[in-house]
C-alpha cells in the first residue's frame, strides 16, 4: 500500500512537470513570464532527467504489479492444491473406515453376541500426516469457522477410531487368553453359558461395552468425514467461483449404506447382565 502511494505521488509530480513543459512549448506568452534561462534549463536538463526518472518509476510500478500478479497466481495455485490434497486425504480416511465397517462390522451385524463375533481390526491408519494448515487461512478468508471445526473434528475422530480398535483388540486378546486357559476355543462353538462360566460376567460385559463404543465412534467419524468432504467442495466453489476451477467431488454411492448409523445390538448392557445372571443360579 505504501509503495503504491509513493509511486503514485512521484508519477503525479513528473506528470505535472511534463504538462508545464508542454504548456511552455505551445504557449509562448506564458513562457515569457519566466526567465528564458530557467525555461532552457527546464527543457534541456530537467526534461531528460524527469524523463529518465519517470521511465524508471513507470518501470518499477509495472514490475511491482507484475510481481504482485505472479504472487497472487502462485498463492491461488497453492490454495487449490491444499484444498485438493485435503479432499483426497479426507476421502482416503473415509474409505479406511468404510472398509472396516464393510469387512469387520457388517458380517457380524445380526449376531446376538456381535461383541464376541467381530474379529480383530487392523490398527494402522492409511493417513498419518497432518492437515495442510493453509486450509485454516482459506476458511478464514471465507469467514467459514464451521469448516475448520468440522475438518479438525473429522481428523480427531479418525484417529480415535484406531485407538478404539487397538483397545478392543487388546480386550479381545485378553478374553481369548482366558478362554484358552479354561480349555475352550474362541467361542464360536461354545454356548454363552459356557463362556460365562469360563471368563465371568465382568469380562463379557466389558468387551460388549468396548465393542459398542468402538462402533459408535466409527459411525461418528464416518459422518463427520463425509460432512468435511462436502465442506471442502463447497469451499472450492466459494473461493474460486467463476475461475474455472473444478472441485473434487467424490462419489460415495457404492458405499452409501455404510454412512447410515449401525443398527443397535441384540443386547444392551442391562439386558446382557440380566441374561448372564441366570447362569449364576446354576
pLDDT over 50 (residue 156):
yes
pLDDT over 80 (residue 234):
yes
pLDDT over 80 (residue 242):
no
**Any long-range contacts for 190-198 (C-beta under 8 Å, 24+ apart)?**
192/113, 192/275, 192/276, 192/279, 193/279, 193/282, 195/116, 196/276, 196/279, 197/279
**119 compared with 22, residue with greater pLDDT:** 119
Question: Do the beta carbons of residue 144 and residue 235 sit within 8 Å?
Answer: yes
Q: Report d(CA 117, CA 167) in Å as an integer.
A: 16
Q: Report d(CA 45, CA 39) in Å as an integer.
A: 10
pLDDT over 80 (residue 155):
yes
What's the whole-number average pLDDT of the chain? 79
pLDDT over 70 (residue 281):
no
Q: Report d(CA 89, CA 91) in Å as an integer.
A: 5
pTM, two decimal places: 0.74
pLDDT digits 0-9 by tens, 177-197: 998 888 876 555 778 888 988
pLDDT digits 0-9 by tens, 121-149: 999 998 888 888 888 888 888 888 889 99
Amino acid at each position: 500500500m505504501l509503495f503504491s502511494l509513493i509511486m503514485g505521488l512521484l508519477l503525479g509530480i513528473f506528470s505535472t512537470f511534463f504538462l508545464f513543459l508542454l504548456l511552455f512549448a505551445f504557449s509562448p506568452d506564458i513562457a515569457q513570464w519566466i526567465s528564458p534561462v530557467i525555461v532552457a534549463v527546464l527543457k534541456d536538463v530537467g526534461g531528460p532527467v524527469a524523463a529518465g526518472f519517470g521511465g524508471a518509476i513507470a518501470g518499477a510500478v509495472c514490475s511491482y504489479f507484475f510481481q504482485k500478479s505472479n504472487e497472487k497466481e502462485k498463492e491461488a495455485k497453492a490454495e487449490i492444491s491444499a484444498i485438493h490434497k485435503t479432499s483426497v486425504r479426507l476421502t482416503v480416511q473415509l474409505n479406511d473406515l468404510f472398509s472396516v465397517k464393510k469387512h469387520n462390522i457388517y458380517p457380524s451385524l445380526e449376531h446376538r453376541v456381535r461383541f464376541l463375533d467381530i474379529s480383530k481390526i487392523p490398527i494402522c491408519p492409511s493417513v498419518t500426516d497432518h492437515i495442510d494448515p493453509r486450509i485454516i487461512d482459506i476458511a478464514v478468508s471465507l469467514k467459514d469457522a464451521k469448516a475448520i471445526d468440522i475438518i479438525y473434528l473429522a481428523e480427531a475422530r479418525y484417529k480415535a477410531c484406531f485407538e478404539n480398535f487397538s483397545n478392543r483388540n487388546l480386550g479381545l486378546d485378553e478374553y481369548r487368553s482366558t478362554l484358552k486357559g479354561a480349555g475352550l476355543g474362541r467361542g464360536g462353538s461354545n454356548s454363552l453359558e459356557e463362556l460365562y462360566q469360563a471368563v465371568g460376567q465382568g469380562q463379557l460385559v466389558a468387551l460388549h461395552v468396548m465393542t459398542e463404543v468402538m462402533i459408535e465412534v466409527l459411525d461418528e467419524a464416518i459422518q463427520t468425514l463425509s460432512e468435511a468432504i462436502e465442506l471442502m467442495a463447497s469451499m472450492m466453489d466459494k473461493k474460486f467461483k467463476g475461475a474455472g476451477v473444478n472441485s473434487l467431488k467424490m462419489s460415495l454411492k457404492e458405499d452409501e449404506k455404510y454412512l447410515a448409523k449401525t443398527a443397535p445390538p441384540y443386547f444392551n448392557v442391562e439386558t446382557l447382565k440380566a441374561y448372564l445372571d441366570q447362569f449364576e443360579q446354576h
